[in-house]
Amino acid sequence: MFGITAAGLVKWSYVLSLVAAALFVVAVGIFRAAMTAYTTPLLILLVATLIAFIALVMVLAGLVFGQFSSLNMTRALIALVISAGIFVPIFLGGRAVANVPSINDIMTDTQNPPQFEVVPTVRKPFDNSLALSEDRLAYHRKMYGDMKPLQLADTPDAIFDKVLELVDDRGWLLVAADRAKGTVEATVATALFGFKDDVVIRLSAADNGTRVDMRSASRQGRTDFRVNSKRIMAFLEDLAD
C-alpha cells in the first residue's frame, strides 16, 4: 500500500532512530553544561522523543507485517533498542509529572527556613529563585506538611562532623561549611542529565541537644518528582542512625 514495504519501514526507522539519538545527546549535553534555561534542551528532548516514537512504530510495523528474511535485522534491532530506549522512559516520566506536586524547594521548617548563603553565588541567572513567598510556603505546608526536623542528643559541634561525613559519602559537592553557624551547603547532580539540586543543612542547639533542619532545592524545573523530599528523609534517617 502506497508503495511502502516492510523493508522500507525498517530502513527509515533506523535512520529516524539515529536522528533521535543525536538530538537526545545534544539535549543531554546542554542540560549538563547548564548553558541556558532548561526549556531549550527540554524542547530538543521532546522532539527527539517524538521522532523516537515514530521510529518505534515504524520498526514494529516492519517486524509484524514483513518477512524476516527480507529485513535487515541488524538495523531493525538497533532501531528498536534506540527508539524504545528514548521514548519509553521519557513517556513514563511525563506521565509521572501529573502525580507529583508542582514544587521543587523542600524544607523541614517553613516558619524559619534554612537559608543558602554561598550557593546563590554559584547559581546562574536563569536558575530557579530561592526566594520564598508566603504562597509558596503555604503550598509547601499543604503538600509536605509531614516534613519535620530531626532532634539529636549530641552537640551541634559533634553532629557537624557527622554531617560532613555523610555529605562526602554521598558524593555531594561541598559548597560551604561553617562550623560556627552550624551550616553546610552542598550540590547534588544527577548521573545522566546532570540536573543540580542545592542542599543546606542547619544545626542549632535545642533541648539539650541538636535540632537538624534541611532544605533541598532544584536549580531548574517546576517539579522535582519528589526527589528533594526523599533526599532529605534519607539523609536525616542516616544521620539519626
Shared domain for 87 and 130, answered yes or no, is no
- Predicted TM-score (pTM) above 0.75: yes
| Domain extent for 36 | 6-97
pLDDT digits (tens, 9 = 90+) for 42-58: 999 999 999 999 999 99
Choosing from 54, 81, 97, the residue where a domain stops is 97
Assess contact for 187 and 119: CB atoms under 8 A.
yes
- Say which CATH number the domain at 177 has: 3.30.530.50
Sequential DSSP letters for 166-203 = HHHHTT-EEEEEETTTTEEEEEEE-SSS--EEEEEEEE
Residue 54 CA: distances (Å) to CA of 16, 45, 125, 206: 8, 14, 36, 59
Interatomic CA distance for residues 202 and 219, integer angstroms: 20
pLDDT digits (tens, 9 = 90+) for 127-143: 999 999 999 999 999 99
Interatomic CA distance for residues 111 and 104, integer angstroms: 18
